[in-house]
């Protein structure tokens, strides 16, 4: 039942796990990289608007499968319901090699310097756990650069005056502007704002042995047909395997991290692709299952020394669950704005990330990925009926004349927004499932609603003849940008890991995903997750050369 020991086990072959596996393998460690999902590739690109990771009435496309992986979601009235991955409120991310990086829209944002010191900048709003990160933008900067060059990012960050200093320019230029981008650019300049092309983890020229984006309209939620979208599955993971030091095992569900009597991890127990329970001994365990699953795994790894789960002596594991609160506005134009040139999202402003009077933070604002027709059926101006002749007329008249501007408002962390485990609801393998509960902080909603106004103003300045806002609503946080559940910190009583992602209580257990984030920026978080993975890996490699993490 027990497999031959390896130096390191990495749990989750996604944005963080793929990078850690490669860095360790290149440094000479023997690594087992475990992934619950399958290894999909460009051949699995279905372009099915009813079955993908973004719109999934007929199921999701890249996991996890609905039959085996329920969660419990608690609404604001305290009512609990069991949800499947394709159901509302689940907070799903693709479960496959590459994780979310296989099917994301691929926005590649560096957080701003102030995003790492939110408490120093704004103070802590009452009732929140807003705090500074134990690392600064400057410390993380080289890792952002490494991610941009190794995974592959295109754009022109010099056009954004709000970005922090960047040690190298991006390796690839941005795509040629679309009609929407030209329209919005003019509007932004009229308002004195500073528009720039969205940095993307996307090839715009041949790079890293793969071709350039084909500008189709099937990006966010889909696999890339031409493999131009950059993820860990087509960059660092193949590199890791090529070293000969890394073994990737798919279809594997980790049950728990095993520890000895002194709190030192000895390895993990997991169910292999045939559902046989295996033990994989290792000197080092790195958890990168994304904020919900990583917290779930730690909470389920109970022992005499850790009766409430590894790293959870002070009840901070699973706390401060964050995502982003998306708000914005829609604008209808007299002229056609649609040119069928993907991916759609192309232009952004950072003028409202910080410095908003009376608000702790803000959001980046950008245009949206191309909406599929079925997505468009739900984007209705106030008073528009949801069906009937009027709705059909609306679809016919306005599908090609509408621009959406949205932004991910940086959430104010809340201690009660959390992941716990439900002992009565078990998944297919008998493991207690994650339970998501808790509110959004009221100040988050305030900020988000101001962002809607800014989005609407931008659309108006760009010539929209009719606009309406999408406002914030209360509800459980998380979502695809899930973060914060095992936050970094200096104080072991108010955090789960130290500044290197090392669990305070278990010196050979590390975390390398969005769980680490103290706050989650006003941006899609994946590039920051990647940068942190390089940051954690650097520490792991240096420490391994010393103690080899042996007890």
Partner 1 sequence: MRTQERLPRRRFLQVAAATGTAAATVGCGTDVSPWRTLTRAEGDTLAALCDQIIPPDQDAGASEAGVVDFLDRQLSGRYKRHRRLYREGIEAVNRIADGSFARLEPARQLELIQRVEAGKESKESAAFFALLVTHTMQGYYGMPRHGGNRNYASWRMIGVPVRPLRGRRPENEVRG
Which stretches of the chain bind partner 1, using CB under 8 A?
A: 47-50, 57-59, 154, 156, 172-177, 204-205, 212-218, 225, 338, 340-342, 372-374, 376-377, 386-389, 391-392, 395-396, 399-400
End-to-end CA distance of the chain: 23
Give whichever of 322 and 337 is closer to partner 1, judged by the CB atom.
337
**Distance set, CA 533 to CA 17, 27, 283, 285, 539 (Å):** 7, 15, 19, 14, 10
Give whichever of 373 and 383 is closer to partner 1, judged by the CB atom.
373
Minimum CB separation from partner 1 for residue 366, in Å? 18
Minimum CB separation from partner 1 for residue 210, in Å? 14
Minimum CB separation from partner 1 for residue 376, in Å? 8
Give whichever of 165 and 388 is closer to partner 1, judged by the CB atom.
388
**Two tokens, residue 388:** 């009937």
Minimum CB separation from partner 1 for residue 46, in Å? 9
Minimum CB separation from partner 1 for residue 397, in Å? 9
Strands, E assignment, 337-430: 347-349, 365-367, 402-410, 418-426
Which residues are CB-contacts of 49 (< 8 A; sequence separation ≥ 6)? 55, 372, 373, 374, 375
Which residues are CB-contacts of 430 (< 8 A; sequence separation ≥ 6)? none
Give whichever of 135 and 226 is closer to partner 1, judged by the CB atom.
226
Minimum CB separation from partner 1 for residue 469, in Å? 23
> Are 531 and 144 a contacting pair, CB within 8 Å?
yes
Dmax over CA atoms of the chain, in Å, equals 72
Minimum CB separation from partner 1 for residue 152, in Å? 14
> Are 254 and 269 a contacting pair, CB within 8 Å?
yes
Cis? peptide before 343, omega within 30° of 0? yes
Minimum CB separation from partner 1 for residue 317, in Å? 35
Give whichever of 43 and 244 is closer to partner 1, judged by the CB atom.
43
Give whichever of 66 and 446 is closer to partner 1, judged by the CB atom.
66
Give whichever of 2 and 159 is closer to partner 1, judged by the CB atom.
159
Minimum CB separation from partner 1 for residue 395, in Å? 5
Give whichever of 151 and 370 is closer to partner 1, judged by the CB atom.
370
**Two tokens, residue 11:** 């749990």
Q: What whole-number distance in Å separates Cα of residue 228 and Cα of residue 300?
A: 38
> Are 151 and 393 a contacting pair, CB within 8 Å?
no
Give whichever of 229 and 441 is closer to partner 1, judged by the CB atom.
229
Encode 102-118: b = buried (16+ Cβ within 10 Å), e = exposed: bbbbbbbbbbbbbbbbb
* Contacts made by residues 454-458, CB under 8 angstroms, sequence distance 24+: 454/352, 454/365, 455/327, 455/328, 455/329, 455/365, 455/405, 455/406, 455/407, 456/329, 456/331, 456/405, 457/191, 458/184, 458/187, 458/188, 458/191, 458/193, 458/329, 458/349, 458/365, 458/405
Give whichever of 154 and 320 is closer to partner 1, judged by the CB atom.
154
User: Would the CA dihedral through 137, 140, 145, 149 be positive or negative?
Assistant: negative
Minimum CB separation from partner 1 for residue 88, in Å? 12
Give whichever of 172 and 455 is closer to partner 1, judged by the CB atom.
172
Give whichever of 399 and 429 is closer to partner 1, judged by the CB atom.
399
Minimum CB separation from partner 1 for residue 50, in Å? 5
Give whichever of 111 and 333 is closer to partner 1, judged by the CB atom.
333
β-strands 246-249, 31-34 pairing: parallel
The DSSP H or E segment spanning 146 is: helix 137-147
**Distance set, CA 230 to CA 24, 288, 469, 529 (Å):** 21, 19, 33, 15
Burial class (CB in 10 A: 0-12, 13-18, 19+), 336: exposed
Minimum CB separation from partner 1 for residue 341, in Å? 5
3-state DSSP call for residue 345? coil
Which residue, 322, 302, 327, is CA-closest to 312?
302
Minimum CB separation from partner 1 for residue 166, in Å? 19
């Amino acid at each position: 039942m027990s497999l031959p020991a390896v130096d390191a086990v990495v749990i989750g072959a996604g944005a963080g796990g793929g990078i850690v596996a490669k860095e360790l393998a290149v440094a000479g460690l023997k690594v087992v990289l475990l992934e619950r999902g399958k290894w999909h590739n460009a051949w699995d690109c279905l372009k099915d608007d009813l079955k993908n990771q973004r719109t999934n009435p007929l199921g999701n496309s890249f996991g996890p499968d609905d039959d085996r992986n329920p969660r419990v979601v608690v609404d604001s009235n305290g009512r609990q319901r069991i949800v499947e991955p394709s159901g509302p409120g689940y907070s799903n991310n693709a479960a496959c090699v590459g994780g979310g990086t296989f099917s994301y829209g691929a926005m590649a944002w560096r957080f701003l310097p102030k995003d790492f010191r939110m408490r120093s900048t704004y103070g802590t709003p009452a009732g929140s756990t807003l705090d500074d990160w134990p690392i600064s933008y400057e410390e993380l900067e080289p890792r952002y650069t490494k991610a941009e060059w190794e995974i592959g990012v295109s754009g022109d960050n010099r056009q954004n005056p709000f970005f922090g200093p960047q040690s190298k320019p991006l390796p690839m230029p941005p795509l040629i502007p679309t009609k929407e981008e030209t329209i919005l650019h003019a509007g932004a300049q009229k308002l004195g704002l500073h528009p720039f092309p969205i940095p993307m983890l996307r090839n715009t020229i041949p790079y890293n042995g793969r071709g350039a984006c084909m500008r189709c309209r099937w990006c966010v939620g889909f696999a890339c047909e031409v493999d131009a979208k950059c993820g860990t599955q087509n960059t660092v993971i193949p590199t890791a395997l090529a070293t000969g030091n890394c073994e990737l095992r798919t279809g594997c569900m980790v049950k728990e991290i095993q520890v000895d009597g002194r709190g030192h991890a000895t390895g993990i127990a997991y169910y292999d692709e045939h559902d046989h329970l295996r033990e994989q001994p290792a000197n080092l365990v790195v958890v990168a299952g994304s904020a919900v699953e990583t917290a779930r795994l730690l909470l389920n790894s109970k022992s005499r020394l850790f009766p409430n789960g590894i790293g959870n002596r002070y009840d901070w594991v699973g706390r401060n669950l964050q995502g982003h609160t998306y708000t914005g506005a829609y604008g209808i134009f007299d002229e056609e704005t649609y040119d069928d040139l993907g991916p759609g999202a192309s232009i952004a402003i950072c003028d409202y990330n910080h410095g908003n009077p009376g608000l702790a933070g803000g959001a980046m604002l950008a245009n949206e990925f191309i909406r599929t027709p079925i997505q468009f059926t739900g984007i209705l101006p106030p008073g528009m009926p949801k069906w009937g002749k009027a709705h059909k007329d609306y679809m016919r008249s306005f599908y090609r004349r509408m621009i959406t501007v949205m932004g991910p408002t940086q959430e104010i962390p809340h201690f009660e927004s959390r992941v716990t485990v439900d002992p009565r609801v078990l998944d297919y393998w008998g493991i207690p499932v994650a339970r998501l509960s808790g509110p959004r902080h009221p100040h988050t909603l305030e900020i988000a609603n101001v962002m809607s106004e800014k989005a609407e103003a931008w659309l108006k300045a760009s010539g929209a003849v009719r606009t309406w806002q999408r406002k914030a609503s209360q509800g459980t946080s998380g979502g695809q940008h899930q973060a914060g559940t095992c936050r970094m910190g200096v104080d072991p009583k108010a955090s789960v890991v130290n500044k290197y992602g090392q669990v305070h209580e278990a010196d050979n257990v590390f975390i390398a995903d969005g769980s680490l984030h103290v706050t989650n920026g006003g941006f899609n978080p994946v590039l920051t997750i990647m940068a942190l993975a390089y940051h954690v890996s650097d520490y792991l490699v240096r420490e391994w050369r010393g103690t080899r993490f042996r007890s």
